Structure 1
């Protein structure tokens, strides 16, 4: 009898131990330091992303959350190929992509699109809406007839609620929410399977955020999209995300299904984040106020990056970096206190 078992499908996206460092000192003179009575050569770097390993499976929405400066947007740009990792690997559909040239990555651009944070800067002010939407279709489909290009753009515009009468107008004539709809339409014109959304709601009014979020959810269902969704708004995550990765100082603290994370957060930092989300019901935990110094990404702590602000930190936390440990509910938590049962 033949073995009918097939190998499991690889994740659509996989990050393996990815790191990103930015040099602060560019010239030779900037790197010279006078220390301990001697002239020394130093190399100062910002450690933006530190040993991040994540997977995104087909059809899901992985949300990456954390406070400003934690490395969320850097992760998005590493995945999109806008930045090259200092260490580690980025794989897409099982193939490594971080070491490929721009030419080799060109076919991938059609499958992977990015929606940027600022809709006022992501659209070319000198292009009409029609030109902005037709450009990627023509680039990725050079043999497509002009009438077919226009038909494709019209279909996408109607699908995302962009009025076809906007075709000959310019970006400055629209509000932020309208521009973000246009940016989403531009991403969808090439029929991608994977969308990187880097804080797509941050620059919008609260009244418009729900409309854009619902639009992205509808596109996910209708087109079978997979999302890497970068945000600092946990209330958005609760409605949009399939899984959540919590970042602190460029390091993954906790990774869990959305329902699990909101029902039973384990890492002290995750608990502090969730306690800050306004809730309209009784029985919710009081707001956790974090105290202590916030470490600088230039000189990372030797041990846990959250140690200086954690109420459960001990000597081990100061000298040893925690590794992600799988919990009974399937979540991954990088915390010595959780591992040793010191968290209430």
Structure 2
């Protein structure tokens, strides 16, 4: 793992702010496409050479999440949002960078050493139809994490805790003896939320928790998450591609493009004055009812492949403000006067 210098780390958290609950520094993740060693061998020019290809899913992500806030990570499909979520939770090992929780580095911990953090950090997955064990009743599903993290609790105390979290998310008591396939998507996601809350975490990663649900149910689940945050003082890393959800739910927003963070700002600032060209194009595509709204920004070109990343700024091939520096030099997140941070040479040079 690489360790960031002090100069690099200053872009993560604002000076004078309280220490973040979760801090990600220079996070990178790549996945091999080349198979095992023998699959990587090729004949080239009469010689045997080793050829390796990688998907560069995350490319130097810096994030800091303060206690009690909901940081929403947005971007188009394939930009690395969910990979960031899984890497933060330790489900995927990073290729480089650091992950710190409450000041302690956790990305290098063994599974046993990471266990206390598992209780403090929980995850709600995108697909409620796949995240519940079909062989377990709802009662067993909710009891399992409690028994894992509280092996000293007796059966009655465990059942009382299950009853408490079921009531907190609006689950009927008679659901306990039924299986996951007997419920709708919205009901299953409530069960998944109850499972996450069962061990009283302080930090929750929600990976597009409403994208698989009917629109009529999405608001109910969102309100449930917001109520849980207020009542339990939760902190969220909320992954989504729905900008309407971000505007309703998020405290701050991080915009990602091709594995990099383009812009980080408070929700109000981002929606009022987006600075990065990609953020501007993204927000211009939101349907509005105003008659005098500007025309959506139409980006030209195709999204580059994460296998062969472009040089310099990853957005330069589609950016109308790109100049030669953008093709050579990777921009870094720099603080702006309005409190946001933007990774854009055009913004830095005052061209945008």
TM-score, scaled relative to structure 1:
0.95
1:287 equivalent in alignment to 2:296: yes
Change (3 A) 1:238 1:83: same
Which of the residues 153, 157, 165 maps onto 1:156? 165
SS in 2 for 1:273: helix
1:199 equivalent in alignment to 2:208: yes
- Measure the CA separation in 2 of the matches of 1:254 and 1:132: 39
- Measure the CA separation in 2 of the matches of 1:36 and 1:296: 27
**1:251-273 Cα deviation digits (max 9, x unpaired):** 00000001000000011100111
Deviates more, 1:311-320 or 1:35-44: 35-44
- Measure the CA separation in 1 of the matches of 2:120 and 2:321: 44
Which of the residues 235, 246, 255 maps onto 1:237? 246
Q: What's the counterpart of residue 81 of structure 1? A: 90
Which of the residues 314, 338, 341 maps onto 1:305? 314
- Measure the CA separation in 1 of the matches of 2:48 and 2:318: 35
- Measure the CA separation in 1 of the matches of 2:44 and 2:310: 21
Q: CA shift at 1:33, angstroms?
A: 3.8
Q: Is the 8 A contact 2:29 2:95 kept in 1?
A: yes
1:173 equivalent in alignment to 2:158: no
Change (3 A) 1:87 1:219: same
Q: What's the counterpart of residue 53 of structure 2? A: 44
Q: CA shift at 1:9, angstroms?
A: 4.6
Q: CA shift at 1:341, angstroms?
A: 2.2
Q: What's the counterpart of residue 6 of structure 2? A: none
- Measure the CA separation in 1 of the matches of 2:105 and 2:173: 39
Alignment: residue pair count: 337
Q: What's the counterpart of residue 276 of structure 2? A: 267
Q: Is the 8 A contact 2:165 2:198 kept in 1?
A: yes
Q: What's the counterpart of residue 97 of structure 1? A: 106
- Measure the CA separation in 2 of the matches of 1:66 and 1:259: 18
- Measure the CA separation in 2 of the matches of 1:318 and 1:33: 31
1:58 equivalent in alignment to 2:67: yes
Which of the residues 278, 283, 286 maps onto 1:277? 286
Q: Is the 8 A contact 2:18 2:66 kept in 1?
A: no
- Measure the CA separation in 2 of the matches of 1:289 and 1:34: 44
Q: CA shift at 1:293, angstroms?
A: 2.6
Change (3 A) 1:32 1:141: same
Q: Is the 8 A contact 2:33 2:53 kept in 1?
A: yes
**1:183-229 Cα deviation digits (max 9, x unpaired):** 00010011000000001011001111000000000000000000000
- Measure the CA separation in 2 of the matches of 1:303 and 1:39: 32
- Measure the CA separation in 1 of the matches of 2:215 and 2:206: 18
Change (3 A) 1:115 1:341: same
Which of the residues 223, 246, 249 maps onto 2:232? 223
1:144 equivalent in alignment to 2:161: no
RMSD after superposition: 1.4
**1:92-127 Cα deviation digits (max 9, x unpaired):** 000000000000011111110000000000000011
Change (3 A) 1:171 1:263: same
- Measure the CA separation in 1 of the matches of 2:38 and 2:304: 27
SS in 2 for 1:54: strand
Q: CA shift at 1:40, angstroms?
A: 2.8
